[in-house]
Structure 1
Amino acid sequence: MTYFNKIKNQYRHYWFPVVLIVFFALLQWVGKDSLRYQNDLLSSHQWWRVLSAHWVHLNWLHWLLNSAGFLLLVALLELKWSARYWLLIISLQSLSISLGFLLFNPNLIWYVGFSGVLYGLYIFAAITRFKKDRFIASAILLLVLVKVVIEQWFGDSASSAALLGAPVVVDAHAYGVLCGGLMGTFIQFKKMKNYEKNK
């Protein structure tokens, strides 16, 4: 195997996450106002916002931080999911967080950002990869859960709001973690059922 092929095989699972990151960057040029979650506009049948809100960002720094977190997740757990699988999980996460806003945050005026989905992806990936990467998966679960509990208890930090230029909607992180946890547990339960059936 040539050196080029070794590099290609080592990094090929990054291609779709990178495509998504570039896609999110392109959406910044479209304009977040037409894509963000906005409670009053959902009643006008602008339902695309329940998905697209999670793919646009406040500014380029916001996009950069979420992009770095996304690539870090892929690297830590060596995720080799198909493009279809990525789209399914991200779409379900996006819809679930927006549903959480509709049900429990009726006074939320608007929202943008991938961080809620990202929190959910970390939890989902850690649960589904737990047997293969116990140490890393355990560390991820602990750190993310502790951070969400702190956010729910104390609220958004002033430094985060100052850095991004707007308050962080910490409930998005909580909804993402809840959705990621339920989805990951479901997948693991399904794997166990299939294993028992094939024994």
Structure 2
Amino acid sequence: MSVSSHRRAHRHALHTWGACAGVAALSAAFSFVPWLYAVGLYQRDAVRAGQWWRIVTAMWVHLDAWHWLADAMAAAGLILLLARVLRPQVIAGALVACGVLVQIALLSQPAVQWYGGLSGALHGLAAWGGLRLLRPPAVDAEDRLSRWVGVALCVGVLVKVWLEQSWLSPIAYDPHWGFGVVRIAHAFGAGSGLLLWVLGEWRAEGRRRAQG
């Protein structure tokens, strides 16, 4: 490996772990600092009254330490998997975009009066990332492991969303967590990831046509 390649790999690793740490730290701040929790949690009536920032902040708010830890670990795992062939900055951007789209979609669900957590955004990231890994960049065209990871992510998201049947029951109380799980957010997340992938493919096709 050349010196320049080693430096690029080192920067990539730093950015990857930085993204993992950033997600964990930001979600910890909104989950455990009382005033951030209060202003960050998605509350349907508050958003409709003009507190639009909750659409952006709600994904970072968690209801307790276990909820935060589970989402932080899931986020780190997905980031590390996808960073094999994707830039950490792009992965983090997709996570945030999916989270915002989920919160916007939840406005169509009167039954969901409040919401917090990364689970919807993580379902979106898994769907988007899985689709991206199905066709790695040219430099990694022979990366079969990434393709298999992509297949596993796509199938896993589809099976989970189907089994949850969130369109029949948007919210389901989970005694393990001790609160109602907003399963419809998982379906909205998967849809958001698919939308981001379609938009990305459309832009990429436009660039290819412009260059050709």
Report the TM-score when normalising by structure 2.
0.80
**Mapped partners of 2:73, 2:123: distance in 1:** 13
**Mapped partners of 1:82, 1:164: distance in 2:** 30
Aligned match for 2:194, one of 181, 189, 193:
181
Q: How does 1:1-199 map to 2 (within 5 A)?
A: 8=10, 11-12=13-14, 13-31=16-34, 32-78=37-83, 80-83=86-89, 85-86=90-91, 88-103=93-108, 105-132=109-136, 133-152=146-165, 161-199=174-212
Over 4 Å off, 4+ runs: 4-10, 153-158
For the structure 1 residues 23 and 196, does the alpha-carbon distance in structure 2 shift closer, same or farther, using more than 3 Å as the test? same
* Alpha-carbon contact 2:23-2:75 (below 8 Å) kept: no
Quote the sequence identity (%).
Answer: 25
Q: List gaps (5 residues or longer) in structure 1.
A: none
Q: Which has the higher contact order (CA 8 A, sep 6+)?
A: 1
Listed one character per residue, the Cα deviations across residues 18-43 of structure 1 (whole Å, up to 9, x for unaligned) are 11211211222223233111111123
**Mapped partners of 1:148, 1:198: distance in 2:** 39
Q: How far off is 1:136 after superposition? A: 0.9
Q: List gaps (5 residues or longer) in structure 2.
A: 137-145
* Alpha-carbon contact 1:128-1:188 (below 8 Å) kept: no
SS in 2 for 1:164: coil
Report the TM-score when normalising by structure 1.
0.84
**Mapped partners of 1:99, 1:23: distance in 2:** 21
Match of 1:107, as an amino acid?
Answer: A
Q: How far off is 1:81 after superposition? A: 2.5
**Mapped partners of 2:98, 2:73: distance in 1:** 19
Matched residue pairs, number? 193
